[in-house]
Amino acid sequence: MVVARGAAARQAPEPAATGDAGRVPAHVAIIMDGNGRWAAARDLPRVAGHRAGAQAVRRTIEAAIRNGVTWLTLYAFSSENWRRPVSEVLDLTGLLRHYLRNEVAELARQGVRLRFIGDLSRFDPDVQADLRAAARDTAANTRLNLTIALSYGARAEIVEAARRIAAAARSGTLDPAGLDEAAFGAMLTTDGIPDPDLVLRTSGEQRLSNFLLWQAAYAELLFLDVLWPDFAEQHFVAALEQFARRERRFGARPG
Ligand code: FPP
């Protein structure tokens, strides 16, 4: 199978694109949902669902590598998640701290490059330092580009880009007439990351929940009836197969 043509382009692909049938999506983005329900179904505390979710993250990274996906973005913590009970926020940030301290070396060994998007300033300074170190120490890797969205919200990201653009226009370094989609996209935290070809959400919910709203403009969407902690390679492969069967036209109609 070949990597999707045009998928590595950061902006909307050329309108003449005729589809990705039989192709592997270059970039898969996942809304990992259902940890709480998984735990509740087992009469376990929610943190047990998040821990099992972290195992699913490991499986998914390996599945992406095995199946030729080169960009993977995972929505691990939304800007709205800060509003959860303090104990759950502490569990989630604790899990993140543990993950960064214990798993980055193995990810680096597997050839994974880590990036983080979102308002990282809201995390404790030690977590911020670990995030910076993980990104720096894996920056030369090319096998899988893994982006983890943390304290991320697409609307806030777009507003921040607009604010920077307005400031540049006011200071005279940017001509508003020259602002196009590529220039706007370059102001987002995902600058340098291709747009997702496929956005998956687990747990049966059918929402984007403020995830990559700009970047997912042309993505195929797939909502899976599996809770995130149960997500396994078979689900990943089935999602890739569904993607391969879809015809992507990017708004155009083949002549
Ligand atoms: C959504 O399930 C999941 C989250 C809010 C957290 C995602 C975190 C992980 C998968 C584990 C940690 C990841 C890393 C990278 C260390 P939910 O709690 O909203 O589930 P529910 O909708 O069933 O209540």
Give the mutation target among 228, 230, 231 for probing the ligand 1 site: most ligand atoms within 8 A of CB: 228
How crowded is residue 210: how many other Cβ atoms within 10 Å of its Cβ? Answer: 18
- Contact status, residue 20 vs residue 5, Cβ threshold 8 Å: yes
**Residue at 31 is within a domain:** yes
Which residues contact residue 83 at a Cβ distance below 8 angstroms, ignoring those fewer than 6 apart? Answer: none
**Residue at 18 is within a domain:** no
Q: What is the pLDDT of residue 22?
A: 62
Checking if the pLDDT of 253 tops 90, the result is no
Give, using CA atoms, the residue closest to atom 8 of ligand 1.
76
Q: What is the pLDDT of residue 251?
A: 75
**Residue at 239 is within a domain:** no
Checking if the pLDDT of 12 tops 80, the result is no
Q: What backbone torsions phi and psi does residue 115 show, to the nearest 5 degrees?
A: -135, 155
**Residue at 7 is within a domain:** no
Which of 20, 33, 91, 130 is catalytic? The answer is: 33
Q: What is the pLDDT of residue 239?
A: 98
Q: What is the pLDDT of residue 14?
A: 36
**Residue at 167 is within a domain:** yes
Confidence of residue 255 (pLDDT cuts 50, 70, 90): low
- Which of ligand 1's atoms lies nearest the C-alpha of 40? 23
- Contact status, residue 147 vs residue 117, Cβ threshold 8 Å: yes
CA of 179 from ligand 1 middle (Å) equals: 37
- Which of ligand 1's atoms lies nearest the C-alpha of 51? 11
Checking if the pLDDT of 34 tops 70, the result is yes
**Tens digits of residue pLDDT in 119-160:** 999 999 999 999 999 999 999 999 999 999 999 999 999 999
Residues facing 72 on adjacent strands: 28, 146
Lowest mean pLDDT across 59-68, 96-105, 140-149, 242-251: 242-251
Confidence of residue 19 (pLDDT cuts 50, 70, 90): very low
pTM of the model: 0.90
CA of 221 from ligand 1 middle (Å) equals: 19
Concerning whether 225 is annotated as a catalytic residue, the answer is no
Checking if the pLDDT of 179 tops 90, the result is yes
**Tens digits of residue pLDDT in 187-200:** 999 999 999 999 99
- Which of ligand 1's atoms lies nearest the C-alpha of 81? 5
Q: Determine the residue type at 224.
A: L
CA of 228 from ligand 1 middle (Å) equals: 8
Q: What is the pLDDT of residue 202?
A: 98
How many domains does one find in the chain?
1
- Which of ligand 1's atoms lies nearest the C-alpha of 98? 16
**Residue at 157 is within a domain:** yes
**What lines the ligand 1 site, CB under 6 Å?**
32-37, 50, 53-54, 57, 76, 81, 92, 95-96, 99, 148, 203, 228
Mean pLDDT throughout 29-38?
98
Checking if the pLDDT of 161 tops 70, the result is yes
Q: What is the pLDDT of residue 252?
A: 77
Checking if the pLDDT of 217 tops 50, the result is yes
Domain with residue 32: its CATH number is 3.40.1180.10
Q: Which domain holds residue 183?
A: 24-230
Which of 67, 81, 137, 141 is catalytic? The answer is: 81
CA of 77 from ligand 1 middle (Å) equals: 7
**Residue at 4 is within a domain:** no
Mean pLDDT throughout 150-173?
97
The share of the chain scoring above pLDDT 70, in percent, equals 90
Residue of 249, 220, 215 lying closest to 11 (CA atoms)? 215
**Residue at 59 is within a domain:** yes
